[in-house]
Structure 1
Amino acid sequence: MVNLRKSLNRLPHLIAFEAASRKLNFTRAAEELGVSRVSVSRQIAELEESLGARLFNREHRRLSLTQAGRALEAEVNPALHQIADALKSVAGAAKGTRLSVTTTSAFATYWLMPRLVDFSNRFPRIELDLVVADRMLDLAAEGINVAVRYSATEPREGRVRPLLQEKVFPVVSPRYAARTGLTQASDLLQEHLLHLSGIYRPGARWPSWFRSNGLEPPPEGSGVVVNTYINMLQAAIAGQGVGLAGNPLVDPYLADGSLIRVPGCKEVVRDHYYLMDMTRDREDAQIFCDWIMEQAGKAVG
């Protein structure tokens, strides 16, 4: 009988090899694995030494598999994926009826979570695993069943339905000490603005909004710069400045008066929130998707 512990003592190295052979780039393999390029390069070198065979041709800015590397790829890579699928299958069976749902932190905080009480009351047998992430997850690799994604284009994974479309406009707290009468778009040039930085696309930022209103935008030094949508909204609610926010996420604060729309300002239509069902006719996923579409219809209505 084969001693698996002895034979597979290079399993982490094989995982590095699988990524490197697929990407044909040590840097991209390292990014996928969440390690350094040096780590991947070292693991490949150690694997080659233990096998006594060179697996990659390392040319200038180019990586290719040797004959031994192609042979190893053909046998090992499918086996690793088979093992991963088996583990995922067992883990999924152990979870029973739990349905994994992912969305961004802002959508989860301001739109989805306040409504989940209704879902739990109506469908108590369906348990949810809410995966909140602002980075673009690999839905298949993470075992995600349903996703809500904000995108300029319709995603190509799973069964996709447009859920909601965002419109952005200036909002302010009644507690904010305005420098002007705040009755028209040009007044905002003299106000304390809350600027978004980081991953957000131009349409979520003040310069784009000002230009759509026919105005030259002020510099970011005219206000506070924050790096998350949640922090921006909280700062606006606290009266620290004027925020550029959008429905549906800001709707609860407009409804309770925590924030008000600045009058005389044009709203800008932006991207869609898309609902993605990654399952194959799974009943609990269908129930959740129908429920969230119903909630979106109420929000629009």
Structure 2
Amino acid sequence: MYNLPPRLDAKLNSSQFSNLFTFQVAARHLSFSKAADELCLTASAVSHRIARLEAELSIQLFRRLTRRVELTEAGERIFEILQQTLGDLSEVLAQPVDADLAGPLTLYAHPSIAHSWLVPRLAEFGLRFPGVRLDLRVGNDRIDFRTRQIDLALYYGNGEFHGLVAHKLMQERVAPVCSPQYAERHGLTGAVEQLQQCTLLHDSLAWDHATFDSEWALWIRQHGNGVPMPKRGVTFDRSDLCVTAAIHHAGVAIGREHLVSEAIGQGRLVLPFTGFTRSGEYDYYIVHPTLEAMPRRVSACIAWLQECAAQTPGV
């Protein structure tokens, strides 16, 4: 429980409640202009409402800097309480009391795992939870749960998610993959030294703080038998695009087992050197902020994802 400044012990009037909502939107964006867009107001109107609230409560909520605003310590505490309170209220209003598996759920995922693993399973999710309105967002960034209003995130990483709760979903293994035609053309089968004649396909955002060639550098260091890193390459910002390029004979990609197994089974990709192996400590995780009371639809989604992972070959 947060200790609020004594001035907030007084009863709030209707004007202050309205201005507190304006403050909550501005604090979420850390921008008066973005708050104005959301509230259909002018930026000066937002600024005026917040200034009036600060004056009436005798509390400074924002520090006004040259080109931005930031929350004061008191503003931060009040914002966190407003977020929780408004979130609880929205959840109650969004569904009937007896429909605790209904309502909105926003899931953020890295594009490759969303495209290759998650989206093909969403029909089952809809049948299992018909009352849940799933909103799937994709991107390569580590999102700020406070500002993005995301319930869960599905990440590929090493398990280090500071300040967040992480559930390991699936272990991952990797191996170089290419089309059968590309392997034959370059004589790759069992001949890792032939990589020197090939184009490497790089996922430049393989994990947080990865360099453009991190995946290949790690594999070559572990399995390359002293072969230098080939210089010719094409860089993407998604692993599934590397795989698509490999299927169409553009080069050799590092294939993650859960993303390429289907293409290998169909004969569109081959493993020219070795089978799948562990490469570092990078796996798939379900991540969310610490919650005092997790909505049932969120816990049900976590359990469903874990069930899907358990049914995935190689987990």
Tell me whether 1:119 sits opposite 2:104 in the alignment: no
Bigger shift: residues 86-95 or 271-280 = 86-95
**Structure 1's 138 and 166: CA in aligned 2 closer, same or farther, altered over 3 A?**
same
Task: Determine the structure 2 residue equivalent to 1:218.
Answer: 230
Cα distance per residue 1:15-47 (max 9 Å; x no partner): 66x589xxxxxxxx56xx79xxxxx9xx989x8
Picking from 150, 154, 157, the partner of 1:144 is: 150
Task: Determine the structure 1 residue equivalent to 2:40.
Answer: none
What is the rounded CA distance, in whole Å, between the counterparts of 2:286 and 2:179 in structure 1?
A: 31
Task: Determine the structure 1 residue equivalent to 2:102.
Answer: 97
**Structure 1's 15 and 173: CA in aligned 2 closer, same or farther, altered over 3 A?**
same
Task: Determine the structure 2 residue equivalent to 1:248.
Answer: 258
**Structure 1's 86 and 138: CA in aligned 2 closer, same or farther, altered over 3 A?**
same
Tell me whether 1:289 sits opposite 2:302 in the alignment: yes
**Aligned residue type for 2:217:** P
Task: Determine the structure 2 residue equivalent to 1:192.
Answer: 199
Task: Determine the structure 2 residue equivalent to 1:25.
Answer: none
Task: Determine the structure 1 residue equivalent to 2:5.
Answer: none
CA contact (8 A) 2:178 2:269 kept: yes
CA contact (8 A) 1:194 1:224 kept: yes
CA contact (8 A) 2:206 2:215 kept: no
Secondary structure at the aligned position of 1:176 is classed as helix
Tell me whether 1:258 sits opposite 2:268 in the alignment: yes
Identity %, equivalent residues: 23
CA contact (8 A) 1:179 1:191 kept: no
What is the rounded CA distance, in whole Å, between the counterparts of 2:76 and 2:138 in structure 1?
A: 34
How far off is 1:243 after superposition? 0.9
Secondary structure at the aligned position of 2:172 is classed as strand
**Aligned residue type for 2:102:** T
Task: Determine the structure 1 residue equivalent to 2:170.
Answer: 164
What is the rounded CA distance, in whole Å, between the counterparts of 2:261 and 2:157 in structure 1?
A: 20
How far off is 1:172 after superposition? 0.6
With structure 2 as the length reference, what TM-score do the two structures score? 0.65
User: Aligned-pair RMSD on alpha carbons?
Assistant: 4.7
Task: Determine the structure 1 residue equivalent to 2:285.
Answer: 274
CA contact (8 A) 1:184 1:265 kept: no
**Unaligned stretches of 5+ residues in structure 1:** 21-28, 35-39
Cα distance per residue 1:180-226 (max 9 Å; x no partner): 3212222112112212335752475322322223332122xx13222
**Structure 1's 78 and 166: CA in aligned 2 closer, same or farther, altered over 3 A?**
closer
How far off is 1:242 after superposition? 1.0
CA contact (8 A) 1:99 1:129 kept: yes
Secondary structure at the aligned position of 1:254 is classed as helix
CA contact (8 A) 1:111 1:249 kept: yes
What is the rounded CA distance, in whole Å, between the counterparts of 1:70 and 1:241 in structure 2?
A: 53
Secondary structure at the aligned position of 2:118 is classed as helix
Task: Determine the structure 1 residue equivalent to 2:134.
Answer: 129
Task: Determine the structure 1 residue equivalent to 2:179.
Answer: 173
Pairing 1:78-89 to 2, within 5 Å after superposition: 81=83, 85=87, 88-89=90-91
Cα distance per residue 1:223-247 (max 9 Å; x no partner): 3222322321111111111111212
**Unaligned stretches of 5+ residues in structure 2:** 1-12, 36-42
Secondary structure at the aligned position of 1:243 is classed as strand
Pairing 1:9-158 to 2, within 5 Å after superposition: 18=27, 73=75, 81=83, 85=87, 88-89=90-91, 92-93=94-95, 97-100=102-105, 101-121=107-127, 123-134=128-139, 135-155=141-161, 156-158=163-165
How far off is 1:115 after superposition? 2.0
What is the rounded CA distance, in whole Å, between the counterparts of 1:282 and 1:191 in structure 2?
A: 50
How far off is 1:99 after superposition? 4.9
What is the rounded CA distance, in whole Å, between the counterparts of 2:287 and 2:70 in structure 1?
A: 36
What is the rounded CA distance, in whole Å, between the counterparts of 1:254 and 1:105 in structure 2?
A: 20
How far off is 1:273 after superposition? 0.8
Cα distance per residue 1:122-146 (max 9 Å; x no partner): x153434142222222335444333
Secondary structure at the aligned position of 2:250 is classed as coil
CA contact (8 A) 1:172 1:259 kept: yes
